[in-house]
Chain A
């Protein structure tokens, strides 16, 4: 069964550093999403992406965040200058009308 994959599974970084989280969506899906989940809290929407552009973004998705689909298969989330409060699980999802989630990347900002 096709699935969404994400790399790395864990990422530790210093405050102020840039990180890139990678996702490979399910191949025939057209909608892609990033969500985050701070430990013990609910899942929060960050951004949706369709037809090579952002469809919607939440208030969380400020100028330090960006998304890209560089090569037609990968879908990346870049955090330019990480802050302590960016520590969370980041989930990628892709959709054919139903959203399927990847296993997540645990980001720890020190």
Chain B
């Protein structure tokens, strides 16, 4: 089955700097990789996702890169702002695509 590892568990960056969170997965058949942002007391919100037929996807200050050979994908946030402070989760589907296997989460702290 799928196993998703996420690093780091906590990331503290200066406002305006970039943040990078990395995930590895085990199932080479996985073809969809979402990133979710969870603010305190709220449900996870999808912020960006990537499918296996592309290597990079960007949406304003957020980008995701995928390396299928190495089985890892990363979230990049540029020009970080205080409202980026949250817990970020990566996920990958089991081969059935019915369920997501989640990483352990990264607590991102933006220092003013």
* B45 on interface, CB distance cutoff 8 Å: yes
A56-B96 in contact given A42-B105, A45-B101, A98-B49 (Cβ < 8 Å): yes
Q: How far is the CA of A4 from the CA of B100 in the complex (A)?
A: 17
* B102 on interface, CB distance cutoff 8 Å: yes
**A58 engages B99 (CB within 8 Å):** yes
Which one of A64-72, A73-81, A100-108 is at the B interface? A100-108
A31-B103 in contact given A43-B89, A91-B44, A102-B43 (Cβ < 8 Å): no
Instruction: Name the prevailing secondary structure of the A interface residues.
Output: strand
The tally of residues in A whose CB lies under 8 Å from a CB in B reads 23
The tally of residues in B whose CB lies under 8 Å from a CB in A reads 20
Q: Which residues of A have CB within 8 Å of B91?
A: 43
**B98 engages A48 (CB within 8 Å):** yes
For this complex, 7 residue pairs linking A to B, each with C-beta atoms less than 8 Å apart, are: A4-B43, A43-B44, A55-B98, A56-B99, A89-B43, A91-B44, A102-B43
Q: Which residues of B have CB within 8 Å of A48?
A: 98-99
B32 CB, min distance to chain A CBs, angstroms:
8
Considering only CB atoms, which chain A residue lies closest to B101 in the complex?
A45
Q: How far is the CA of A102 from the CA of B42 in the complex (A)?
A: 8
